[in-house]
Amino acid sequence: MTESHSAQISASRYIDFRSDTVTRPSQSMRQAMANAEVGDDVYGDDPTVNAFEQWAAERHGFESAVFCSSGTQANLLALMAHCERGDEYLCGQQAHNYKFEGGGAAVLGSIQPQPIENNPDGTLPFDKLEAAIKPLDPHFARTTLLSLENTINGKVLPLSYLAEAREFVNKHKLKLHLDGARVYNAATALDADITKIVQYFDSFTICLSKGLGAPVGSLLLGSHDLIAKARRWRKVLGGGMRQAGILAAAGQIALKENVSRLGDDHNNARYLAQQLNTVTGFSTKPEFVETNILFAKVDEAIDQAKLLSTLKEKGILLSPGNPMRLVTHLDINRDDIDSLIAELKAIV
């Protein structure tokens, strides 16, 4: 047995609460990938990619879409397509495309982020956003774009807030982008079709490799002109993939087959929160769990490094932190949660 094959078997046995990025492709995805008709996507010749992008655009009510390697790349393409060098975008202090994407907008796009402190529910206060918009003056970066995230830390932005955000950008002649890495989780929590959310935005992203279960990939959707510009930047950034239909095939399965089951992840997250409250040294608020992400306070007396190491030996993976973030997904079921709780009680 090769070392890589051994590692694959080892990884597959873990009950992994670290993130929904750890999901593995279903058998139907693997079959679709194996049978995908492919061509050179950089030339525009991959029929599976072309069909997927066209279907995604039509499904979500947008003119065009581009298939990207990751959510980070899709967000960066959106920022670089909306903004020019020396422009500025408004976002939240907790925004993924500000805090967790390596400063790509500034480093690679010469775009200045202007972060605003998020409210506890994930929204951004419009009075502070308005105060942050720069005057038209050569001393300042030009404020061009407002970027929101939905869900953010598991919280869902209300549809009424999104409507206000649209009015805000219209008033100030800005564009509106959505980091929609988990936007289908938001739609599921709202019991609304995805178009009810994305109708307010000039562009948005979907991550296919989180709760939707695809192995790789994200989509950026927008107008024809915006996506044409983003496609050029994708090539400049080294994101031109050749026979990418193998990956796009899995992405289409993710959107067609796995959206309807996201509610199971939300229910499991609430169940996990309830059960964690039965473990000494752990405290959560199940009523605050809206989607598949929850946060638990951990007693300072608990040695997290030792706890996580012991759990890993038992085949369970958690991320350190206080509060500790736990994420449910299609590879986590109630039995897995019960196993975690039993092990925590035994250890603590």
Per residue in 169-221, pLDDT tens?
Answer: 999 999 999 999 999 999 999 999 999 999 999 999 999 999 999 999 999 99
Distance CA 1, CA 130 (A): 61
Q: Which residues of the chain are in CATH 3.90.1150.10 domains? A: 3-22+260-347
Six-digit token string for 242: 């050749």
Q: 1 pLDDT band (50/70/90 cuts)?
A: very low
Q: Which residues of the chain are in CATH 3.40.640.10 domains? A: 27-257
Six-digit token string for 217: 């990939």
Q: What is the pTM of this model?
A: 0.93
Given a cut of 90, is residue 280 above it in pLDDT? yes
Top-level class of domain 3-22+260-347: alpha beta
Q: What percent of the chain has pLDDT over 90?
A: 96
pLDDT of residue 271: 98
Per residue in 87-117, pLDDT tens?
Answer: 999 999 999 999 999 999 999 999 999 999 9
Distance CA 182, CA 22 (A): 14
Q: 3 pLDDT band (50/70/90 cuts)?
A: very low
Alpha helices in the chain (DSSP H): 3-12, 27-35, 47-60, 71-82, 96-99, 104-109, 126-132, 159-172, 183-190, 195-198, 224-236, 245-257, 262-276, 304-313, 334-347
pLDDT of residue 11: 52
Given a cut of 70, is residue 7 above it in pLDDT? no
CA torsion angle for 54, 58, 62, 64 (degrees, to 10)?
A: 10
Distance CA 219, CA 168 (A): 26
- Tell which CATH classification among 3.40.50.1100, 3.90.1150.10, 3.40.50.720, 3.40.640.10 matches the domain 27-257: 3.40.640.10
Mark 96-118 as b/e (b = at least 16 C-beta within 10 Å). bbbeebeebbeeebebbbbbbeb
pLDDT of residue 5: 36
Q: 34 pLDDT band (50/70/90 cuts)?
A: very high
Distance CA 324, CA 298 (A): 7
Length of the chain measured in residues: 348
Per residue in 262-276, pLDDT tens?
Answer: 999 999 999 999 999
pLDDT of residue 13: 78
Distance CA 27, CA 29 (A): 5
pLDDT of residue 2: 40
Given a cut of 70, is residue 8 above it in pLDDT? no
Distance CA 294, CA 183 (A): 17
Residues 6+ apart with CB under 8 A from 314: 343
pLDDT of residue 9: 37
What is the rounded average pLDDT for all residues in the chain?
95
Q: First vs last Cα of the chain: how many Å apart?
A: 37
Q: 348 pLDDT band (50/70/90 cuts)?
A: confident
Q: Please give the radius of gyration of the chain, using alpha carbons only, rounded to the nearest integer.
A: 21
Question: Sign of torsion, CA 92 98 101 102?
Answer: negative
Nearest to 267 by CA among 246, 292, 245, 247: 292
